[in-house]
Amino acid sequence: MAAGSSPGAVRNEDELRIAHLYRRAGFGLAPDELEAAKAKGLDACITELVHPEKVKDPLDERLADLQGELFDLSNFDDAQAWWLYRMIHTRRPLLEKMTLFWHGHFATGNSKVDNPRLMVKQNQLLRDNALGKFRDLLLAVSRDPAMIIWLDNGLSSKKHANENYGRELLELFTLGVGHYSEDEVKAVARAFTGWKQRNGEFFYDEKDHDEGPETFLDQSWAWSGEEVVDAIARHPATAARLAKKLVRFFVADEGLEGLEKEVADKYLETGGDIRACVGRILHSPRFFQASSIRARVKSPVEFVVGAIRELKSTMPMRSIPPALAKMGQVLFNPPTVKGWDGGLDWINTATLFERAAFANLLVTERGHKADHWFDPDPWLAKDADGKAAVEVFVDALLDGKIHEAGRVALEEYLVGKDKDGKPVPFKAAPGSLDQKVRGLVRLIVSCPEYQLA
């Protein structure tokens, strides 16, 4: 339903599927964007999402102009705000969603790197390779200066091979526990000796590379780092591990064994093509089954970016990172090398309170006319009553679905009182729009249903 249109329409199956698609493969749609997506059709929307290179987006040029003026990428808060700006304004939502996925997979923290520019550089590396071959992404990450600092590969030498990167490469990034031995961790660590960074750039110190023969995956020779990457990128255990993580990220926190196998098979069939794997997920009937819809807890980033995009709102970018931190997610600073656990771990009494506080901030603060954080005026027809107002925002934010008691409570919230304390039915007038409608949206964004994607 477009803002200002007649309320009461029930979303059909196509609308529900497209809205679900863009919540999971992006950050949600505003009503007019849903109408445009519906006109394209579901299959065309999926094709457009998985081929972002075909979508014209002036975002990079805009951000280049804003650097130094709005964003100082040597400042940690500005680096986070820069990425949030991308997520809020992108026309290529799956590309940013996959960048977020890889950030959680190759979890690297500025807490140790201590260089926001290197974190942004890694972020762009993840974006550039997000839907390509996993082998290429893995090689690029292995050479990334932020990763080299994060997992101490710069401290590794042929005399004393540091095992941190080799261990996490095998345990977290590729094969997974049970598919390698301690001796193989040592072999991989020696293969990556000489891989260093200098002044924020990768360089290979040939003199400090261990050229001795090592045994890895039942083969013995003088393994290079590139050969290790090639071998583990094509390994069935890597395919299975990535398939499991992708399905849990896009479909269900508890996983779906059958779909995971399909995705792993697609990975091996295509030589580790991530675009093909994600496409397989998004085309799967399991992705759209009723039990998958509104069944994953939104991460703080998904919650915040989604609310801003769905309400066509604006906010000062620097106000968002502190709010996200209170909800439990600091971009460029995952809590451990495993990234964020996600799921129900996002939700507790404190974080729910902070989500409600953000909802209040989003809808109640007023900016200049050209910079409304949330402007209720375009959303409702001038003769809209309370029932119509509730329908418009429940449709826009909850797919039109809310339990009857919740709907009644929202309608009752809109009823005012006159000076004698008698009920006054809601009507879309400037005063009620500025107060009651803002409060209505705050309640919906804070409600349990909205916390689910």
Q: Does 328 fall in a domain? A: no
Count other C-beta atoms under 10 Å from residue 65's C-beta.
11
For the segment 144-160, the average pLDDT, to the nearest whole number, is 96
Residue (of 386, 440, 442) closest to 411 by Cα position: 386
Residue 156 — very low, low, confident or very high, per pLDDT cuts 50/70/90?
very high
Contact yes or no for 401/449 (Cβ under 8 A): yes
Angle at 112 between CA 336 and CA 82, to 5 degrees: 85
Top pLDDT among 430 and 386 is at 386
Mean pLDDT value of segment 431-451: 92
Q: Which pLDDT score is estimated for 3?
A: 43
308-341 tens-digit pLDDT = 999 999 988 999 999 999 999 999 999 999 999 9
Region 174-178: mean pLDDT is 97
Residue predicted with more confidence, 106 or 383: 106
Tokens 């059958």 -> residue: 258
Question: Which two structure tokens, joined as six digits, stand for 125?
Answer: 């590396």
- One-letter identity of residue 124: Q
Residue 393: inside a domain: no
Q: Would the pLDDT of 262 be above 70?
A: yes
Band (pLDDT 50/70/90 cuts) for residue 10 is: low
Residue 369 has pLDDT above 70, yes or no: no
CB count within 10 Å of CB 413 equals 15
Q: How close are the terminal C-alpha atoms of the chain, in Å?
A: 19
Q: Which residues fall within 8 angstroms of residue 157, CB to CB, at 6 or more apart? A: 193, 208
Confidence of residue 5 (pLDDT cuts 50, 70, 90): very low
- What was the pLDDT predicted at 4? 39
Q: Where are the beta strands (DSSP E) in 274-431?
A: 416-417, 423-424
Residue at 441 is within a domain: no
Packing angle between helix 438-446 and helix 386-398, nearest 10 degrees? Answer: 40
Task: Tell me the average pLDDT across 8-35.
Answer: 90
User: Does position 172 have pLDDT exceeding 80, yes or no?
Assistant: yes
pLDDT category at 417 given cuts 50, 70, 90 is confident
| Structural domain includes residue 266 | yes
Range of the domain at 257: 236-292
Q: Which amino acid is at 33?
A: E
Single-letter code of the amino acid located at 183: D
* DSSP letter for each residue of 311-357: TT----GGGHHHHHHHHT--TT--SSTT----GGGG-SHHHHHHHHH
Residue 383 has pLDDT above 90, yes or no: no
> Within 10 Å of residue 10's Cβ, how many Cβ atoms?
11
pLDDT digits (tens, 9 = 90+) for 370-380: 677 899 989 99
The confidence score (pLDDT) of residue 284 equals 97
The confidence score (pLDDT) of residue 6 equals: 38
**Count of H-run helices and E-run strands, the chain:** 24, 6
- Structural domain contains residue 68: no
Asked whether residue 278 is assigned to any structural domain, the reply reads yes
Lowest mean pLDDT among 66-80, 163-177, 288-302: 66-80
Amino acid found at 302: E
Any idea which residue has 């997506």 for tokens? 37
> Is the pLDDT score of 2 beyond 60?
no
The CA distance from 361 to 347, in Å, is: 19
Backbone angles phi, psi at 220, to 5 degrees: -120, 120
Distances (CA, A) of 188 to 119, 164, 203: 25, 10, 18
pLDDT at 366 over 70: yes
% of the chain exceeding 90 in pLDDT: 86
Whether the CB-CB separation of 251 and 259 falls below 8 Å is answered with yes
Q: Are 247 and 256 in contact (CB under 8 A)?
A: yes
Hey, how many other C-beta atoms are within 10 angstroms of the C-beta on 172?
Answer: 18
Angle at 260 between CA 134 and CA 126, to 5 degrees: 25
The total number of structural domains that make up the chain: 1
The per-residue pLDDT for 8 is 43
Residue 58 to residue 386: CA distance in whole angstroms: 39
In this structure, is residue 250 part of a structural domain?
yes
d(CA 262, CA 251): 14
State pTM to two decimals.
0.94
* Average pLDDT over the chain, rounded to an integer: 94
Whether 244 is in a domain gets the answer yes
